[in-house]
Structures are given as C-alpha cells and as structure tokens.
C-alpha cells in the first residue's frame, strides 16, 4: 500500500477542521488559507489516490528525485524543478518513483483568491497542470518560512504569516513563468539572494547546484567567480555579520544569537566568530558597548 506519510525527516502541519472553518470565514484568511503543508525527503513508497479529488487546491513541488502524477487530463513523470497544481475536486493519483524516490514540498489551499492564482500559474479551475520551477531556491525558502510559521502555533498571527508566505510563493511561481528561462548568471544571483534571505537555514551545496541546473563543480566555480570566495565562507561571513548586528542591537544571549544565524552549537558559533573577527562574541559585545558609553 502507498504511504501517505511517515518518512524519516519529514515535517508536516495540518490545521484542525474547526480552525479551518473559522479561518475560512475570517476576512484575511478567507482569501488564502494554508490548511496543510509539509516536506517529505526521499519519500520512498509515498503515494495518494483521491478518486473524487480534494476539498482544497494542492501544490506539489519536486526538489529531488522523481515521482508520477495522473489525473483525467494529465499523466506525467514529475522531476526535480517541476511542480504540479491540482485544483479542488479534480480526481488524481500520484506517487514517488521506486528507483529514485522524490523529495517534495507540498501544500493544500482554500480561499476566494486561489482560482485567480492558479490561473496566473497557467492552470485552469478544472484541470491539473505541471509547470517548471525556474527559481527553486526562492520557492523552497518561502515553503520553509510558511512551515516555520505553522510550526510555531495556531494563532491568527501564524496563520496570517503562512498565508503571506504562500501568496508570495505562488506569485513567485507565476512571475518565473512569465520571465521564461534564466541565464546562468541569473541562477548564481538567485543563489546569492537565497543565502542572504535564509542565512539561518542549513546550506547544502548539492541542493544549490541542482536548483541552478549545474554540476557542483561548475556551480562552485561560477560562485567563486561572482563572489571571490567559496559558498561555505560566503555563508559564514553572512552569518557573522548578522550576529554582529544582533550583539550590538539586542540583549539576546550568545546561544540565542547563534541559533538565529544558523548555528545550533554556541561553542561552534564562537569559534566561527573568532575566526572571522579575531575576538569572541562576548568580547565583541563588550567592546562595542564600551565604545558607545
């Protein structure tokens, strides 16, 4: 039997039906509401069959591996860098390929604006469609942000934040569709923008290269040509720069600042900070405040 969920490393949030009912009547979330959202890495055996469709519009973005999708109007293999848009009530089936299980981000949507957004993506209200995701890094970052909001709690603030991220995500997909194919240098600029926007997230060189449709070696060479340094060193300097700002402008602890800039281990953060600035974070903070007094 295909598995609906239960994959190592997965992340998933599903709103309870009473909350969905209330949010669907509220002024903001009635326009766009994320009811379900998740991340399934290397989801071997994953699959779903909905002969009557789902009550919500579904978006699935494949970031690695491959899967298959079938509806009355479409039958295809879904590969990394592609997304399928399934309007509400459209019958469909999908699953991960056994020989190369997919890694996907997915979400379910309700709201009065969803049909217009689907149309902007080149879809229709009664047929599933497959589109190319030309700015995969930005899309993944927005998925990350939306899921982080839903993982925080089920308050209205978090629902608003998730809806805003997904609105941005869908318009990002629509914009990339209108722009067409990107030049190679644009892909490097996309990577730089992603790293700056999501500096606290884990950095995987293979994912960056794959999203740019380049080999790791070619991507690394172009990245160094554009920045004068490696991906790892670039990210480290971004993180330490942000840490300096937090050390001077907030009273957050070293551990909190470390986590805010992507370091789970505060001792490792301190070593990285010292390697860049020549002093520890605590000493940097003390000196900065002494100079201001």
Domains of the chain: 11-179 (2.60.120.280), 183-293 (1.10.10.60)
Are the C-beta atoms of residues 142 and 172 closer than 8 Å to each other?
A: yes
* The pLDDT of residue 292: 58
Distance, in Å, from the CA atom of 254 to the CA atom of 258, rounded to the nearest integer, reads 6
243 in Cβ contact with 257 (< 8 Å): yes
Q: What is the pLDDT along the chain (293 residues), one digit of tens a residue?
A: 678 888 999 999 999 999 999 999 999 999 999 999 999 999 999 999 999 999 999 999 998 899 999 999 888 999 988 899 999 999 999 999 999 999 999 999 999 999 999 998 888 888 998 888 877 888 888 999 999 999 999 999 999 999 999 999 999 888 877 765 556 667 788 788 888 878 888 888 888 887 777 889 999 998 888 888 999 999 999 999 999 999 998 999 999 999 999 999 999 999 999 999 999 999 999 888 776 55
Q: What whole-number distance in Å separates Cα of residue 9 and Cα of residue 41?
A: 6
- Residues 196-250 have pLDDT tens digits of 878 888 888 888 887 777 889 999 998 888 888 999 999 999 999 999 999 998 9
User: Token pair of 66, please?
Assistant: 């491959």
Our measurement of the distance from residue 194's CA atom to the centroid of its chain's CA atoms, rounded to an integer in Å, reads: 10
Dist CA 74 CA 178 (whole Å): 22
Q: Which of 56, 90, 93 is nearest to 78 (CA)?
A: 93
Pairing verdict, β 47-50 and 33-40: unpaired
**According to the model, what pLDDT value does residue 179 have?**
64
Measured CA distances, 288 to 196, 236, 269, 273 (Å): 24, 21, 19, 15
132 forms beta bridges with: 82
Sheet holding 74-79, edge to edge: 47-50, 92-96, 66-71, 74-79
pLDDT, residue 31, reads 96
C-alpha separations of 248 from 13, 241, 277 in Å:
36, 11, 14
pLDDT tens digits, residue range 88-116? 999 999 999 999 999 999 999 999 999 99
Q: Would you state the structure tokens that stand for residue 247, as one six-digit string?
A: 């050390």
């Amino acid at each position: 039997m295909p598995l609906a969920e239960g994959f190592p490393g997965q992340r998933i949030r599903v709103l309870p039906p009473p909350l969905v009912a209330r949010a669907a009547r509220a002024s903001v979330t009635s326009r766009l509401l994320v009811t379900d959202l998740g991340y399934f890495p290397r989801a071997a055996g994953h699959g779903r069959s909905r002969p009557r469709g789902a009550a919500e519009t579904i978006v699935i973005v494949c970031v690695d591996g491959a899967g298959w999708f079938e509806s009355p109007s479409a039958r295809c293999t879904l590969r990394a860098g592609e997304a399928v848009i399934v309007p509400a009530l459209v019958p469909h089936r999908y699953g991960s390929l056994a020989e190369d299980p997919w890694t996907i981000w997915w979400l379910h949507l309700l709201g009065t604006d969803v049909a217009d957004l689907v149309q902007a993506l080149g879809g229709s209200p009664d047929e599933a469609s497959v589109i190319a995701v030309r700015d995969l890094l930005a899309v993944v970052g927005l998925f990350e942000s939306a899921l982080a909001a839903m993982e925080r709690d089920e308050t209205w603030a978090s629902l608003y934040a998730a809806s805003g991220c997904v609105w941005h995500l869908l318009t990002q997909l629509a914009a990339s569709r209108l722009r067409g194919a990107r030049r190679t240098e644009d892909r490097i600029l996309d990577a730089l923008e992603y790293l700056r926007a999501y500096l606290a997230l884990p950095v995987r060189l293979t994912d960056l290269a794959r999203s740019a449709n380049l080999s790791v070696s070619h991507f690394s060479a172009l990245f160094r040509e554009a920045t004068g340094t490696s991906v790892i060193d670039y990210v480290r300097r971004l993180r330490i720069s942000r840490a300096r700002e937090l050390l001077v402008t907030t009273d957050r602890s070293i551990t909190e600042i470390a986590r805010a800039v992507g370091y789970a281990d505060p001792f490792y953060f301190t070593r990285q900070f010292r390697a860049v600035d020549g002093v520890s974070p605590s000493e940097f903070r003390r000196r900065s405040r002494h100079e201001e007094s």
